[in-house]
Amino acid sequence: MPEGVAKDSKEDAKSKSKEASPRRRATGNMAKVKVKLLDDSIMELDVDRKIRGHELLSKVCESLNLVEKDYFGLLYNDRGDPRVWIDLEKRVSKMVKQEPWSVRFAVKFYPPEPSQLQEEVTRYQLVLAVRKDLLEGRLPCSSVTHALLASYLLQSELGDFEESEVGAEMCKQLKLVPPSSCTAELEEKVVELHKTHRGQTPAEAELNYLENAKKLAMYGVDLHPAKDSENVDITLGVCSSGLLVHREKLRINRFAWPKILKISYKRHNFYVKLRPGEFEQFESTVGFKLANHRAAKKLWKTCVEHHTFFRLTSPEPAPRGTLFPRLGSRFRYSGRTQYESRAAHPARAPPHFARTLSNRKLSSRSMDALAAGDKDDSMPTEAAKRHTMPPQPAPRPTVTDKVL
């Protein structure tokens, strides 16, 4: 190739690379995120590639006009497990590899008393989460309860019963009950119950929905498959009150948070150290086998988060750095607790929002005054900040790191 031609081709290549580099830099610094919301719609966001989990969650909550964001989280699919929570302190790029990033907005901590949520828009998102749990089989209930809950959703979305617009087909259109449970008899029952809710505002109907849903045995329970000491298949459930043990869909044991002295894991084993009972002298430890080390750590982290969120007034401080390497997991729940979330009253007027299942905009009287008026007997006092503190002097129990 002649020397002049070679120089020209090099200069052209340089000029092209200079023209293209700003575009590459712009796209290289940004990432596209697809967030599946609780009503199954998709929210698309362009975010900084270095964004952390809590920043992404804040963006999603801001778009939904939610200020009580501490109850929510983001799920992603990790190595075949579809229900892994985004770590709010880490960069999203470290967890979600494939672009566009695909995550799902979900309720992480189900409040045991939904009426104590401060805003109507938060309760509506909780209604959507419970509906999704029902549809996907995580919240089993009887056909009678299915019909009652569906009737409250109809009242919330459509208002008072009208022959012209409400029929049995509406249950299928709005996906009020699982398809396997949607019989003609159930649909007729839903319509009959809907007639009895005349006069209820959307907010009142949603609160009635949640007041009935919270009574279900599996409400707000995060399930983890495991095996007991006899190698029998069981399911461990983590919730606001403690750790549940189920076998063949029946609860066979319950470890309340005040009863638990310590939780830990080693390889694929998960351990629960219990306080001695009224007529017992010594502590006891119960062990369970998980599928692998990742599953054991996931269960342990879920317990740490639920214990901290529901039982403490503030997260435990992170341990200080030392000259020597620290063994065990450094994980600590770093968000606000339920106590802190309730104490931070939103300084704004009740927001307006649309009920999205029926794509209708309904005006509704806010239930915030009702929620604010409820007496909160479940909020921990300063004296009960560490719920496991015994009445007699003893080493302070904590939810600790894994045992090595």
Predicted confidence (pLDDT) per residue in 113-165, tens digit:
999 999 999 999 999 999 999 999 999 999 999 999 999 999 998 888 876 45
Strand 101-107 and strand 81-85: the pairing is unpaired
Name the least confident of 27-31, 257-261, 268-272: 27-31
Domain boundaries along the sequence of the chain: 29-107, 114-213, 221-316+330-343+368-404
Look at 286 and 385; give whichever has higher pLDDT: 286
pLDDT of 387 above 60: no
Whole-model pTM: value is 0.80
Beginning with the edge strand found earlier in the chain, give each strand of the sheet holding 30-36 in spatial order: 42-48, 30-36, 101-107, 72-78, 81-85
Band (27; pLDDT cuts 50, 70, 90) = low
Q: Which fold has domain 221-316+330-343+368-404?
A: PH-domain like (2.30.29)
Look at 320 and 148; give whichever has higher pLDDT: 148
- For residues 353 and 121, the answer to whether their CB atoms sit within 8 Å is yes
- For residues 332 and 309, the answer to whether their CB atoms sit within 8 Å is no
In the beta sheet, which residues pair with residue 101?
33
Thinking of the domain 29-107, which architecture would CATH place it in? Roll (3.10)
Predicted confidence (pLDDT) per residue in 332-386, tens digit:
787 899 999 998 877 788 888 888 776 554 434 444 443 444 444 444 443 333 3
Compute the average pLDDT of residues 215-230: 96
- For residues 178 and 135, the answer to whether their CB atoms sit within 8 Å is yes
Q: Which fold has domain 114-213?
A: Acyl-CoA Binding Protein (1.20.80)
Band (175; pLDDT cuts 50, 70, 90) = confident
